[in-house]
Amino acid sequence: MTTAAALSSLARLRGVGVSFGDRVALTGVDLDVPGGTLTVVAGPNGAGKSTLLEVVAGVREPTSGTRTASTTIAFVPQRTSVPDGLPVTVRDVVTVGAWGRVGRWRPLDRRARAAVDEALERLHVADLAPRSFAALSGGQRQRALLAHGLARGADLLLLDEPTTGLDADSAQRIRTTLLDEAARGTGVLAVSHDPLLLDAAHLVVRLEGGRVVRGGAGDAEARCGTVAS
């Protein structure tokens, strides 16, 4: 991949605002998510980071401004709650990701089955594959959801605090996986307070009070280079 291709924007926000009643969560946000790059969104609690990620994912409509994204997106949210009795295994969750390759409810072809196995291995959840997803710990669940995102073969990977609460090995595995994905040309956008993930990022976007104070669209100083350049 050329640097120009790597830097082409996979998602773009312009002048995005989000309000919940009279509470303003985001205001005037301009953001580009380039391919081949790990971008980390940092900022204090309540700054609007999760809301920003939801807008990029297309699961929350902005109150104002525009969003464009022309890609396959995988989104690992900050918190997931599922009923205890949900009859879904870890392998089922990752398999649903692979439907992105063959179409919903369609049997997986050989390539898609291999993508499921590879994603389970990369996140070290292969041994958990037959287990109930609802019975996983929080950290195991985060890894299974990231495996789901990888199996999808998404161009844009969005993660909300993917290493929070994980043990050191699991957190390192996730950091490595995100950098590997960026090196393959994926646009990776992660919300995080993790200093090691911030150190590894090619671009850091800082949000405060719903505004981008560093690293928004056109802020070249915050750009630390790309994997593919």
Contacted entry of ligand ATP, Mg ion, none for residue 48, CB cut-off 5 to 8 Å set by kind: ligand ATP
Rounded to an integer, what distance in angstroms lies between the CA atom of residue 30 and that of residue 16? Answer: 7
Partners of 211 in the beta sheet? 208
48 is a contact residue toward ligand ATP (CB under 6 A): yes
144 close to 136: Cβ distance less than 8 angstroms: yes
Tokens of 204: 């850091």
Site string for ligand ATP, 112-151 (x = CB under 6 A): ----------------------------------------
Site string for Mg ion, 70-89 (x = CB under 5 A): --------x-----------
192 is a contact residue toward ligand ATP (CB under 6 A): no
Least Å distance, CB 79 to Mg ion, is: 9
Closest by Cα among 6, 1, 2 to 223? 6
Q: Which is nearer to ligand ATP, 64 or 229 (CB)?
A: 64
Partners of 203 in the beta sheet? 39, 223
48 close to 206: Cβ distance less than 8 angstroms: no
23 is a contact residue toward ligand ATP (CB under 6 A): yes
Q: Which is nearer to ligand ATP, 22 or 127 (CB)?
A: 22
Contacting residue, 27, 37, 39, 50, with Mg ion by CB under 5 A: 50
Binding residues for ligand ATP, total number by CB under 6 A: 12
In 73-130 the beta strands, taken as DSSP E runs, fall at 73-76
Contacting residue, 37, 39, 50, 170, with ligand ATP by CB under 6 A: 50
Q: Which residue has the tokens 């669940």?
A: 141
Least Å distance, CB 214 to ligand ATP, is: 15
Q: How many CB atoms lie within 10 A of CB 94?
A: 29
37 is a contact residue toward Mg ion (CB under 5 A): no
Contacting residue, 45, 105, 130, 220, with ligand ATP by CB under 6 A: 45
Residue 24's contacts (CB-CB under 8 Å, 6 or more residues apart) are 17, 18, 210
Tally of CA atoms within 13 A in the half-sphere of 110 that contains its CB: 0
- The residues that touch ligand ATP, with contacts defined as CB under 6 A, are 20, 23, 25, 43, 45-51, 78
